[in-house]
Structure 1
Amino acid sequence: MDQALASLITSAAGTGAPTLTSSRYYGSATCPYTLPNGTQVMYLARRILPQAGIYQAVQTYVVVDGDRLDNLAAKFLGDPLLYWMICDANNSTDLDALTAQVGRSILIPMSSSIPPGARYG
């Protein structure tokens, strides 16, 4: 990466990792990878899906036709970007699969605090 660009990213966003606190990658480590041509590329460290049991479920919700996980996160958690917490609480990596089956019950976690380990496994 061009040094000037790397400096800009680091000065504006710390490590280059997401700075939005609602991101599941907030605070994640960044790692360097060197391409065969010598160019260094930064990437986010892998996020391991946490055990669903670390989330305290406050209710279950029965999926209805037309539901989207971002809308459910906005309604129940107060922020559509927290859809990932519903995925984690239901041990799912596919947000569309959680709302694909009408009548399916999904857990809605408590959003007041993100449990330790939920962000980076």
Structure 2
Amino acid sequence: MDQALASLITSAAGTGAPTLTSSRYYGAATLPYTLPNGTQVMYLARRILPQASIYQSVRSYVVVDGDRLDNLAATYLGDPLLYWMICDANNGTDPDELTAQVGRSILIPLSSGIPPGARNG
């Protein structure tokens, strides 16, 4: 396996996503997959969505027109990259889906510390 490629994947091609402590992929394993032609491709191990009950909710928020989950995470959790915690706390996988319906009530979890089990199942 090419070390440069593994390094690129681990660093999320410059975004730092798997290496930032706020990332849902922080600490995720990098695994190889061998294509039929023998070429190895690196990928991040699958993340299993945790039970929403592991999050302590701080408040309920009613979605208004134009809301985006990254902006809500920045406002209520202090970091836009923590949008995934709001998804998890609401049993959601698509951030846009959580804010698509005006008037929908979503839970905003406590941001102080990521609960055990939130990452990688």
Normalised by the size of structure 1, how large is the TM-score?
0.88
Aligned length: 116
Please say which structure displays the higher CA radius of gyration.
1
Deviation of 1:32 (Å): 1.0
Normalised by the size of structure 2, how large is the TM-score?
0.88
Aligned partner letter, 2:81: L
Task: Report the identity percentage.
Answer: 80
CA RMSD of aligned residues (A): 2.0
Match of 2:107 in 1: 107
- Going from structure 1 to structure 2, the CA distance change for 1:39 and 1:83 (only over 3 Å counts) comes to same
Aligned partner letter, 1:99: T
In the TM superposition, 1:1-121 aligns within 5 A as 1=1, 3-6=2-5, 9=7, 18-121=18-121
Runs of 4+ in 1 over 3 A off after TM superposition: none
| SS in structure 1 at match of 2:18 | coil
Looking at structure 2, the residues matched to 43 and 4 of structure 1 have their Cα atoms a distance apart, in angstroms, of 13
Aligned partner letter, 1:112: S
Aligned partner letter, 1:39: T
Aligned partner letter, 1:5: A
Unaligned runs of 5+ in 1: none
Say if 1:17 and 1:29, in contact at 8 Å, map to a contact too.
no
